């Protein structure tokens, strides 16, 4: 009898446990449904099938899901991204390593086409992609009578890690190949100080391509990566495999709680990936052996320059390169606009929420001090730019009026809200400058 009573009690406990488990799953599912709706603005069970990874709700900015090292040496540009036909819907990494729908040089198919070249680093590349997708700049330009019926074509000559004089060299290279351009926008500033400062710390000439991008390639070529850098690369590859597996399984979730837990799991892997990338960046700059026998030559400095000297030289490299871009374009009457990009490490009146601070700032970043010291050095060259008739657009304050998060990482990149604000600033500023030029021409 005692055994029977014990069994009955055990059944009751199991029933209660099962009921509690069902209730737990119910409320988890209910909460996950609400979380999904807030995140995607649609009901989970009637959701649209995602067209690509960007629609899955996971922040994959900076994550290279297919290749560990996408850069390749280029004899003129320093480095390019490895050409790939399937970068994302509507885009490829073209024959010259730029993210674009087109291979270069691109010829006009009719006289009504208006080619806009975008130069700079990853922020400029993101801007060009955003314009192709959303046509914000073309919509501003169509307000001008002479451009309202034009077919605008955005051509990106920007790649992550590029800094002056790479933009100048790339512009002249493609002009020499016969590339037609009707307007040029150069978006830069951050790389010129942040990456040039890393060059300085590694005793590499400031005007040389980014040591962050060149040194891994030379280290692989010379078989001189440090053990810690190699371990970081292994962890990066392992996380990348798990991220890809998670992204493949996420669209197949039949319950909202599965989607929520898988998304959190993938985002955690992404965060670990980014941490290992920072560790890799820190380690790969450490020389393991004398590179005097290297098959790649990169102009060295004898010593690390003092900050005052280094940042003044960086600023002069930046300003002079822009001046020469303008000179070569002015000869063909092609309008040139130079945009100084906003960055979180240059302090303005922008108020960051606690959540955005966690995303946008990293105490281990090598960029913060370089921006704090470098941007004021760039400001000092504004008179030289204006003296040379350059339309310099200072965008450092454009996020000050929004309380929404605009950054997606602790480097320099913007989310869709940030891209929209940045695009509106660039578009409205260019429209105002062109209208001003029209008024001057009428007065003559």
Q: 291-297 long-range CB contacts below 8 Å, 24 or more apart?
A: 291/218, 291/222, 291/224, 293/222, 294/218, 294/221, 294/222, 295/221, 295/222, 296/73, 296/214, 296/217, 296/218, 296/221, 296/222
Give the best-scoring range by mean pLDDT among 38-42, 210-214, 314-318: 314-318
Residue in the block written with tokens 């209730």: 23
Q: What 8-state DSSP symbol labels residue 73?
A: E
407-419: pLDDT as tens digits: 999 999 999 999 9
Same domain, 176 and 159: yes
For residues 200-215, give the mean pLDDT. Answer: 90
Instruction: Tell whether the torsion through CA atoms of 399, 402, 408 and 410 is positive or negative.
Output: positive
Within 41-178, where are the H helices? 122-134, 136-141, 166-176
**Phi, psi angle pair for 285, to nearest 5°:** -80, -10
- Residue 154, pLDDT > 90, answer yes
Given CA atoms 382, 197, 240, 355 in this order, what sign does their dihedral have? negative
pLDDT confidence bin for 55, thresholds 50/70/90: low
**Is the pLDDT assigned to residue 286 strictly greater than 90?**
no
Whether omega for the bond prior to residue 165 falls within 30 degrees of 0, making it cis, is yes
CB-based contact 159:91 (threshold 8 Å): no
Claim to verify: residue 351 and residue 372 sit in the same structural domain: yes
Q: Does the residue 4 lie in any domain?
A: no
Is 3 a domain residue? no
Same-domain check for residues 321 and 405: yes
Residue-level pLDDT at 421:
97
Q: Which domain holds residue 266?
A: 34-60+225-286
In a domain, residue 8? The reply is no
Confidence of residue 266 (pLDDT cuts 50, 70, 90): confident
Closest CA to 190 of 128, 131, 123: 123
Q: Do the domain assignments include residue 281?
A: yes
Q: Which of the residue ranges 285-289, 371-375, 440-444 would you say has the lowest mean pLDDT?
A: 285-289
> What backbone phi and psi angles, to 5 degrees, belong to 186?
-110, 115
Q: Tell me the DSSP string of 389-416.
A: T-EEEE-TTTTTT--S--BSSSSS-B-H
- Answer yes or no: do 215 and 240 share one domain: no
pLDDT given at position 54: 60
Q: Is the domain of 98 the same as that of 172? A: yes
CATH number, domain containing residue 205 = 3.40.50.1110
pLDDT tier for residue 282 given thresholds of 50, 70 and 90: low
362: CB partners within 8 A, 6+ apart: 278, 410
Cα of first residue to Cα of last residue in the chain, in angstroms, is: 111
- pLDDT of 305 higher than 70: yes
3-state secondary structure of 280: helix
> Residues 391, 100: contact at Cβ < 8 Å?
no
For 134-137, the CB contacts below 8 A with 24+ separation are: 134/420, 134/423, 136/420, 136/423, 136/424, 136/427, 137/423, 137/426, 137/427, 137/430
Q: Give the closest residue to 76 by CA, choosing from 156, 13, 168.
A: 168
Other residues' Cβ atoms within 10 Å of the Cβ of residue 55: 13
Average pLDDT over residues 199-224: 81
pTM listed for this prediction: 0.75
The pair of structure tokens assigned to 125 is 């590349």
The whole-number pLDDT of residue 145 equals: 92
Domain boundary among 240, 255, 286: 286
Task: Give the Cα separation of 290 and 298 in Å (integer).
Answer: 14
Q: Which residue has the higher pLDDT, 282 or 366?
A: 366
Is 51 found in the same domain as 123?
no
Peptide bond into 105 cis (omega under 30): yes
384 with 339, same domain: the answer is: yes
Encoded tokens for 59? 């922040």
Domain count, the chain: 2
The two tokens of residue 286 are: 């450490």
Asked if residue 345 and residue 218 are part of one domain, the reply reads yes
In the predicted structure, residue 20 carries a pLDDT above the cut 90 = no
Residue 258 is assigned to a structural domain of this protein: yes
Taking 60 as the threshold, does the pLDDT of residue 4 lie above it? no
Provide the percentage of residues in the chain whose pLDDT is more than 90.
57
285 has a pLDDT exceeding 60: no
Asked if 318 and 373 count as a contact pair (C-beta separation under 8 A), the reply is no
231 and 109 in a common domain: no
Q: Which residue has the higher pLDDT, 435 or 65?
A: 435
> Which pLDDT value is given to residue 300?
86
Can you give the pLDDT at residue 212?
85
Computed over every residue of the chain, the mean pLDDT equals: 85
Confidence grade of residue 62 (pLDDT, cut at 50, 70, 90): low
Same domain flag for 161 and 179: yes
Say how many CA atoms lie within 13 Å of 404 toward its Cβ. Answer: 10
Residues 198 and 316 occupy one common structural domain? yes
Question: Is 296 within a domain?
Answer: no
Is 112 among the domain residues? Answer: yes
Tokens of 325: 């871009």
In terms of phi and psi (left: phi > 0; alpha: psi -120 to 50; beta: otherwise), the region of 83 is beta
Q: Read off the pLDDT of each residue in 252-267 and give the average, rounded to a whole number.
A: 79
Q: Per-residue pLDDT averaged across 145-171, rounded?
A: 96
Position with higher pLDDT, 246 vs 313:
313
Q: Are residues 94 and 172 both part of a single domain?
A: yes
Q: Is residue 14 part of a domain?
A: no
For residue 12, what pLDDT band results from cuts at 50, 70 and 90? low
């Amino acid at each position: 009898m005692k055994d029977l009573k014990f069994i009955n009690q055990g059944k009751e406990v199991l029933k209660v446990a099962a009921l509690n488990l069902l209730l737990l799953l119910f409320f988890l599912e209910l909460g996950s449904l609400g979380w999904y709706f807030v995140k995607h603005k649609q009901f989970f069970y009637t959701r649209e099938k995602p067209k690509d990874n960007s629609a899955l709700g996971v922040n994959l900015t900076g994550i290279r899901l297919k290749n560990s090292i996408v850069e390749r040496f280029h004899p003129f540009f320093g480095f390019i991204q490895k050409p790939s036909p399937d970068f994302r819907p509507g885009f490829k990494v073209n024959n010259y390593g730029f993210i674009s729908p087109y291979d270069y040089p691109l010829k006009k198919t009719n006289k009504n086409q208006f080619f806009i070249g975008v130069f700079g680093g990853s922020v400029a590349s993101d801007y060009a992609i955003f314009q192709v997708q959303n046509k914000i700049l073309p919509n501003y330009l169509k307000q001008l009578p002479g451009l309202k019926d034009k077919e605008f074509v955005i051509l990106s000559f920007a790649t992550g890690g590029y800094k002056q004089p790479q933009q100048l060299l790339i512009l002249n290279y493609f002009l020499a190949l016969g590339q037609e351009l009707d307007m040029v926008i150069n978006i830069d500033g951050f790389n010129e100080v942040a990456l040039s400062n890393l060059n300085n710390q590694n005793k590499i000439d400031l005007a040389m391509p980014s040591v962050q991008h060149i040194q891994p390639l030379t280290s692989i070529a010379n078989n001189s990566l440090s053990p810690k850098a190699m371990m970081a690369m292994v962890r990066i590859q392992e996380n990348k495999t798990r991220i890809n597996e998670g992204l493949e399984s996420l669209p197949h979730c039949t319950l909202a709680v599965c989607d929520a837990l898988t998304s959190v799991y993938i985002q955690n892997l992404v965060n670990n990936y980014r941490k290992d990338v920072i560790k890799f960046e820190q380690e790969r700059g450490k020389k393991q052996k004398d590179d005097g026998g290297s098959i790649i030559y990169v102009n060295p400095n004898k010593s690390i320059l003092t900050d005052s000297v280094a940042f003044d030289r960086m600023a002069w490299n930046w300003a002079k390169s822009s001046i020469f871009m303008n000179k070569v374009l002015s000869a063909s009457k092609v309008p040139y606009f130079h945009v100084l990009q906003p960055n979180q490490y240059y302090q303005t009146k922008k108020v960051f929420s606690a959540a955005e601070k966690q995303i946008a700032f990293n105490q281990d970043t090598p960029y913060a001090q370089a921006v704090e010291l470098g941007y004021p050095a760039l400001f000092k060259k504004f008179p030289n730019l204006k003296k040379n008739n350059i339309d310099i657009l200072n965008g450092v304050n454009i996020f000050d009026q929004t309380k929404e998060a605009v950054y997606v990482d602790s480097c320099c990149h913007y989310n869709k809200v940030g891209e929209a604000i940045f695009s509106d600033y660039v578009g409205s500023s260019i429209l105002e400058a062109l209208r001003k030029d029209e008024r001057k021409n009428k007065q003559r």
